[in-house]
Amino acid sequence: MRHMKSSYEGVQDCFYRVSAKAFIRDENWKFLICLSDDGYWDIPWGGIDHWEDIHEALRREIMEEMWIPTKSISAQPIYVYMTESTMTRLPICCLNYNVIIEHYNFIPSDECREIQFVTAQEAKNYKLYTPNHQVMKEIEKSEA
């Protein structure tokens, strides 16, 4: 019997990363952004580990970054885009989800030293990773 190559062989050698971003909103529909130890603000996010469920990856990352339990995550991404890693310059596929968290009492970490809630317009005043600002504008536009 001939050995068939698994479609997953070599996955660990992929040249791109898939990440999930959590678009968390407060009661005024402002977006939660986190200040990381590198001085940049970002939407809470994390890389999806091989074989990991996307929703579980988001729950894990939010807990690791902010120590806040997740209430719910949208079934499907609300926005999908490709970008480039600021560290490796390799492509990243970003899957963006609406997320509701249990509370806003976060515990600081290296990846989340501070949190703020901002509109897309207010986000211009922050050193925010691109293309987050554009995604925020698109989400707000779709809600109008």
**What are the pLDDT digits (tens) for 102-139?**
999 999 988 899 999 999 999 999 998 767 888 899 88
**What are the pLDDT digits (tens) for 63-77?**
999 999 999 999 999
Query: What's the burial of 31, exposed, middle or buried (CB within 10 Å: 0-12/13-18/19+)?
Result: buried
Residue numbers of the domain that contains 134: 15-143
In a domain, 59, yes or no: yes
pLDDT at 12 > cutoff 60 = no
pLDDT at 144 > cutoff 50 = yes
* Structure token digits, residue 105: 């009492």
In a domain, 92, yes or no: yes
Mean pLDDT, residues 16-22: 86
In a domain, 3, yes or no: no
Domains in the chain, number: 1
CB count in 10 Å sphere of residue 7:
7
pLDDT reported for residue 44: 92
For residues 65 and 134, give the distance between their C-alpha atoms in angstroms, rounded to a whole number. 23
